[in-house]
Amino acid sequence: MKNITTKELRSLFLKFFEEKNHTVISSASVIPENDPSVLFTTAGMHPLVPYLLGEKHPAGTRICDVQKCIRTGDIDEVGDNSHLTFFEMLGNWSLGDYFKQESIAYSYEFLTSEKWLGIDKDRLYFTVFAGDEDAPRDMESFNRWVEMGVDPSHIFFLPKKHNWWMAGTKGPCGADTEIFFDTGREKCCDDCNPACDCGKYLEIWNNVFMEYNSTGSGFEPLKQKNVDTGMGLERTIATLQGAESAYDTDAFAGILECISRLSGKNYKDSADTVKAFRIIADHIRCATFIIGDPRGIAPSNVDQGYVLRRLIRRALRYAMALEIPENKLSEIAEVIIEQYKDFYTELAVNHDRIIAEISKEEERFQRTLKNGMHEFSRLLPTFSAVGGIDGKNAFRLYDTFGFPIEFTEEMARENGLTVDVEGFHAAFAEHQKKSSQGAEQKFKGGLADSSEATTNLHTATHLMQAALRKVLQDDSVSQKGSNITPERLRFDFSFGRKVTPEELREVERLVNEAIAADVEITCEEMTVEEAKAQGAIGLFSDRYGERVKVYTMGEFSKEICGGPHAKRTGELGTFKIKKEEASSAGVRRIKAVLQ
């Protein structure tokens, strides 16, 4: 088994699939376009849903990529051996091209061939779908693994819970076959298999065979059979480097060294320092990629901005515990930018913005802590009268004033008081439950929703952006976020001041003029360079020669986009702006409808 670096693994993966006639495409933004169902891009397949449903991809039917992903449901678990908020997903895709036979052969060759990763075949284990009333037992995958030379005793049939992949309750889905690495640990029991959580078997690759579409009430065949694979870069590199966790690989080495220098402490001094180092490293890495993304946002109190603020503030809390001096988180971000800028060039382009936003948020949190200490002092007589701080007040200090429970406990001890920590955690759990219900991944709307209403509103955002650039006479106006449901559109854009009522009326007039013109909406596939030359706007890939889709609406709009779109502007109805407001520093938000 080769002991290779993170950079080498990325390069080898893309080179392997290029040799198998796959086109390398750039990572999509970590902030989904026009999709209200998720805050961040959570998987490699997320940006490719339209193409899995049958739309033609400009790069062809065989593609591969390294996708930036963010999952924030387990932020409070970060610090252990397995949880990361930001990670990179290596993926290869067949969009109606090859299927199980080739996919399995490619995976096995890349993992075991001495030319590539050279993993010992005897340390690999596999799972396949056991079958149920919705789909048959996956004997084709089982037989193909055996043909490749896998001992049948290393293959396990597992039910849908383990070997069926689907995002949410609707959308493209299908049986999968998963590949596991035997860590060498003892079996937890006689029936120990890859479905166990004992840690003996570590999943490193998942091949999803998408041939169904879930309607919510059943499954129907897709227009085409697809292959969607995902190999977590950090998890795989930990396997290849024989590391305890991703934090103990070269992916984090430079970041941890920076934290050690700033704190004067060593990573593995104690269980507490291990946890603190990992949280700071993970959270600042994730924050750097969110702010540095082409659709990058700033910390705020809503949506992605709220998650970003929480990441930075949690990192700062642990930085304070390590006695790192104030205003030093940006130095950690500098290390991260330097480490990733060659592959993710947007980090270098947005360097100043990343450093500025992290520094500003650190300063804000210092002020917040002072406000929390003031509130604590104000309530101290009340607390003293009853001999302690109840869970609800402890949570209020945390939720309203950003005051960490550890700080509340420390100040309580200094004043001879107790804290109802169990009550705090109960209030916190209730808050998390409500938050998760509100942000539940339903995978409907946005790019995953091609309903007429959503499609028309998405089309209208293009016309609105073009009108904004014209009315505000500012070509730097660009999309910073978009959330579309069948009822309304919400569009965030870069601009430094409030848009006046007169300007909004002119934007409305221009959009409705374009709608009244009833021009055909055309789509052309071209290279990024050709799109730039034609004056198209949108997120440009930095990979030379990459092909994109450019949608043109007469003389009104020309923009790079992945769809969906109406066929003519006249289908949209009447455009009406309902509200214009600030979203975050330097970003405005418009809410609009079609009537």
| Angle (CA) 168 136 150, round 5° | 95
Answer with the residue of higher pLDDT: 482 or 243: 243
Task: Please state, in angstroms and as integers, the Cα–Cα distance from residue 100 to each residue in 85, 249, 484, following that order.
Answer: 31, 32, 35
For 482-508, what is the mean pLDDT? 90
- CATH annotation of 6-247: 3.30.930.10
Per-residue pLDDT band for 278 (boundaries 50, 70, 90) equals very high
Concatenate the DSSP letters of all residues of 479-493 into one string.
EEEEEE-SS-EEEEE
**Beta carbons within 8 Å of 334's beta carbon, 6+ residues apart:** 355
The whole-angstrom separation of Cα 466 and Cα 123 is 56
pLDDT for the residue 429: 83
**Beta carbons within 8 Å of 317's beta carbon, 6+ residues apart:** 404, 406
Query: Do residues 291 and 330 lie in contact, with contact meaning Cβ atoms separated by under 8 Å?
Result: no
Burial of 438 (0-12, 13-18, 19+ CB in 10 A): exposed
Name residue 334's amino acid.
Answer: E
The whole-angstrom separation of Cα 170 and Cα 217 is 9
pLDDT for the residue 442: 38
Q: Tell whether the model's pLDDT for residue 447 goes beyond 50.
A: no
Q: Tell whether the model's pLDDT for residue 444 goes beyond 50.
A: no
Give CB contacts under 8 A, 24+ apart, made by 185-191.
none
Q: Tell whether the model's pLDDT for residue 247 goes beyond 60.
A: yes
Q: What is the 3-state secondary structure (H, E, C) of 149-210?
A: CCCHHHEEEECHHHHEEECCCCEEEEEEEEEEEECCCCCCCCCCCCCCCCCCEEEEEEEEEE
Beta bridge partners of 553: 521, 557
Give CB contacts under 8 A, 24+ apart, made by 107-116.
107/179, 107/205, 107/207, 107/229, 108/145, 108/148, 108/149, 108/150, 109/16, 110/13, 110/16, 111/179, 111/204, 111/205, 116/12, 116/16
Q: What is the tally of helices (H) and strands (E) in the chain?
A: 18, 18
Domain locations along the chain: 6-247, 262-386, 450-594
Q: Tell whether the model's pLDDT for residue 207 goes beyond 90.
A: yes
Q: Tell whether the model's pLDDT for residue 445 goes beyond 50.
A: no
Concatenate the DSSP letters of all residues of 414-475 into one string.
HTT-EE-HHHHHHHHHHHHHHHHHHT-----SGGG---HHHHHHHHHHHHHHHHHHHHTT-T
The whole-angstrom separation of Cα 477 and Cα 496 is 10
- CATH annotation of 450-594: 3.30.980.10
pLDDT for the residue 462: 92
Which of 309-323, 391-405, 406-420 shows the highest mean pLDDT?
Answer: 309-323
Percentage of the chain surpassing pLDDT 70? 94
Q: Which of 45-59, 315-329, 429-443, 467-481 has the lowest mean pLDDT?
A: 429-443
Q: What is the 3-state secondary structure (H, E, C) of 531-545?
A: HHHCCCECCCCCCCC
Query: Do residues 297 and 304 lie in contact, with contact meaning Cβ atoms separated by under 8 Å?
Result: yes
**Beta carbons within 8 Å of 6's beta carbon, 6+ residues apart:** 233, 234, 237, 249, 250, 251
pLDDT for the residue 542: 59
Q: Tell whether the model's pLDDT for residue 164 goes beyond 80.
A: yes
pLDDT for the residue 75: 85
Q: Tell whether the model's pLDDT for residue 353 goes beyond 60.
A: yes
Query: Do residues 398 and 368 lie in contact, with contact meaning Cβ atoms separated by under 8 Å?
Result: no
pLDDT for the residue 238: 93
Beta bridge partners of 26: none
Three-class SS state of 346: helix
Radius of gyration of the chain (CA): 25
For 253-270, what is the mean pLDDT? 97
Query: Do residues 198 and 233 lie in contact, with contact meaning Cβ atoms separated by under 8 Å?
Result: no
User: What does the buried/exposed string (b/e) look like for 83-113 if buried means 16 or more CB atoms within 10 Å of the residue's CB?
Assistant: bbbbbbbbbbbbbbbbbbeebbbbbbebbbe
pLDDT for the residue 514: 93
Q: Tell whether the model's pLDDT for residue 543 goes beyond 70.
A: no
pTM listed for this prediction: 0.80
**How far does CA 573 lie from the centroid of its chain?**
34
Per-residue pLDDT band for 441 (boundaries 50, 70, 90) equals very low
Average pLDDT over all residues of the chain: 89
Q: Tell whether the model's pLDDT for residue 322 goes beyond 60.
A: yes
Answer with the residue of higher pLDDT: 575 or 542: 575
Query: Do residues 212 and 165 lie in contact, with contact meaning Cβ atoms separated by under 8 Å?
Result: no
Query: Do residues 48 and 64 lie in contact, with contact meaning Cβ atoms separated by under 8 Å?
Result: no
Name residue 431's amino acid.
Answer: H
Per-residue pLDDT band for 435 (boundaries 50, 70, 90) equals low
| Total number of residues shown for the chain | 595
The whole-angstrom separation of Cα 291 and Cα 298 is 6
pLDDT for the residue 260: 98
